[in-house]
């Protein structure tokens, strides 16, 4: 099925550990995004990639890095996890042209202890 695939779905990390969240889309979209969602708060943009080869910071980039590996894949890395990074992470993709909604993955639930 066409869409956005995220792995893993669940992860528990100890403080200070590192990990990479993977995201891939098969809709040939140019733009990809990483959001985090916390209770009572809206989705907050961490990083985005308007096109292959470019990445930019969003609203809450501290503690994260990203890589746009190719047009399909956009990964999010936590170098040294902190309890404040406990959240649900969503990857999304879209066409550059206005008027198209975002397509989201099913999310990664991350707990840092």
Partner 1 sequence: SQKIEQNSEALNIQEGKTATLTCNYTNYSPAYLQWYRQDPGRGPVFLLLIRENEKEKRKERLKVTFDTTLKQSLFHITASQPADSATYLCARSWGKLQFGAGTQVVVTP
Q: Let me know how many helices (H) and strands (E) the chain has, helices first.
A: 0, 11
User: How many whole angstroms separate alpha carbon 17 and alpha carbon 112?
Assistant: 9
Binding mask 59-88 for partner 1 (x = CB under 8 A): ------------------------------
Q: Residues 96, 100, 105, 110: is their CA dihedral positive or negative?
A: positive
* 97 binds partner 1 per the rule CB under 8 A: no
Residues facing residue 76 across a β-bridge = 21, 66
Selected binder of partner 1 within 18, 106, 111, 113 (CB under 8 A): 106
User: How many whole angstroms separate alpha carbon 6 and alpha carbon 35?
Assistant: 12
The piece of 11-19, 22-30, 36-44, 66-74 that touches partner 1 (CB under 8 A) is 36-44
Nearest alpha-carbon partner for 108 in 1, 2, 31, 13: 13
Selected binder of partner 1 within 64, 78, 87, 107 (CB under 8 A): 107
Selected binder of partner 1 within 13, 24, 76, 92 (CB under 8 A): 92
Binding site for partner 1 (CB under 8 A): 4, 33, 35, 40-45, 48, 58, 90, 92, 98-107
């Amino acid at each position: 099925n066409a869409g956005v695939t995220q792995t893993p779905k669940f992860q528990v990390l100890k403080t200070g550990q590192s990990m990479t969240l993977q995201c891939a889309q098969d809709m040939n979209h140019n733009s990809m995004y990483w959001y985090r969602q916390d209770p009572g708060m809206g989705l907050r943009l961490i990083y985005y990639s308007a096109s292959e080869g470019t990445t930019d910071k969003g609203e809450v980039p501290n503690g994260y890095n990203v890589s746009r590996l190719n047009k399909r894949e956009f990964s999010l890395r936590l170098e040294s996890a902190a309890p404040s990074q406990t959240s649900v992470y969503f990857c999304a993709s879209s066409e550059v042209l206005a008027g198209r909604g975002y397509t989201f993955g099913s999310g990664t639930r991350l707990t840092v202890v």
